[in-house]
Amino acid sequence: MQESLIDELGLKEEYKLVTQVGNKLIFAHTTYYEIEEPDYEQFITEDDTPVDNIFSEMQQRLLIDPLHVNQWTERDFWASSNVGIYYAIDKPCVVPDMFLSFNVKKPETWFDKKDKCYFTWVVGKSPDLVVEVISNKIGKEDEEKMAIYARMGVSYYILIDPYLHLYPNRLNVFELTKNHTYERLENEFAFMEEVNLGIMIWEGLFEKEPAPWGRWCTKEGNVLLTGAERAEQEAQRAEQEAQRAEQEAQRAEQEAQRAERLLAQLRALGLEPDV
């Protein structure tokens, strides 16, 4: 491989050789920036403004709880609802109804200002998945927020539209393309390979309330149970085991009574059974 001007200038550490096409050398230039630590007191990490209706609040809990009570991934993850995400120092945060981020851990302390929100430059990456529950027609979830999440590099953007304000379907799943635009996944239920999760609209009871709920599911379409559902399932299994044990005990008692009656009949005839 021929000597290049970059070699002659001693810039090989800044310009890494990517490939050679014919007699042309192609280099990648790496630029390093050092970001000055901001004053975190300037950031709004919480406020007292109520933002959710009853369905949205319940839907958020239904999306968070199953992730923490099921063995569905080996990776560390951070899943939260209504927590601000700061993606740039000079921009206001976005507050999704729910987000999921892999290979990260929540801060060890939540009392420092910089640990109260998801600061991408502190965490080291953007979330992998974001869910918004559409409550009205003015939230701009399908426009402004979608553009922000695309710029952030969020792999999956899910819009649950329970009242059909913006879409003809209650579940709308988008995957980020190489062009940093979102492409809709048109499946009965969307399984997202990168996060090992599917999501579907499930008609049933959550906390005794019937509704078409957005629920995580496996690749086979089986929903991830909530903690309460798992507890109920375990209670039912324990009750069934107790019933089986009781039935076995009753059968054993009946066999013992039958044997005792047979022995009494033999003795009445002057016969003793062989032991």
CATH code for position 151: 3.90.1570
Looking at residue 1, its pLDDT comes to 44
Are 119 and 189 contained in the same domain?
yes
Please say if the pLDDT value at position 17 is more than 70. Answer: no
Q: Are residues 210 and 267 in the same domain?
A: no
pLDDT, tens only, 106-146: 888 777 777 889 999 999 999 999 999 998 888 889 999 99
11-25, 36-50, 229-243: least confident range: 11-25
* DSSP classification of residue 94: B
The answer on 163 and 96 residing in a single domain is: yes
| Whether residue 184 is found in the same domain as residue 261 | no
Q: Are residues 125 and 202 in the same domain?
A: yes
Given the DSSP bridges, would you call strands 156-160 and 171-176 parallel, antiparallel or unpaired? antiparallel
Whether residues 218 and 275 share a domain: the answer is: no
pLDDT at position 8 is: 58
**Are 241 and 150 contained in the same domain?**
no
Domain that holds residue 243: 237-275
156 with 250, same domain: the answer is no
- Are 170 and 160 within 8 A, CB to CB? yes
175 with 267, same domain?
no
- The percent helix, strand, coil of the chain (3-state, each to 5) is 30, 25, 45
Token digits of residue 37: 């630590």
Residues 89 and 209 in one domain: yes
179 or 20: which leads in pLDDT: 179
Mean pLDDT, all residues of the chain: 85
- What per-residue confidence (pLDDT) applies to 102? 97
| Residue 254 included in any domain | yes
Residue 110 has what pLDDT?
73
| pLDDT band with cut points at 50, 70 and 90 for residue 7 | low
Flag whether 230 is in a domain. no
List all residues 6 or more positions away from 18 whose beta carbon is below 8 Å from its beta carbon.
26, 27, 28
Q: Is residue 129 part of a domain?
A: yes
Residue 27 lies in a domain: no
User: What DSSP state is assigned to residue 117?
Assistant: S
Q: What's the pLDDT score for residue 275?
A: 58
pTM (2 d.p.): 0.74
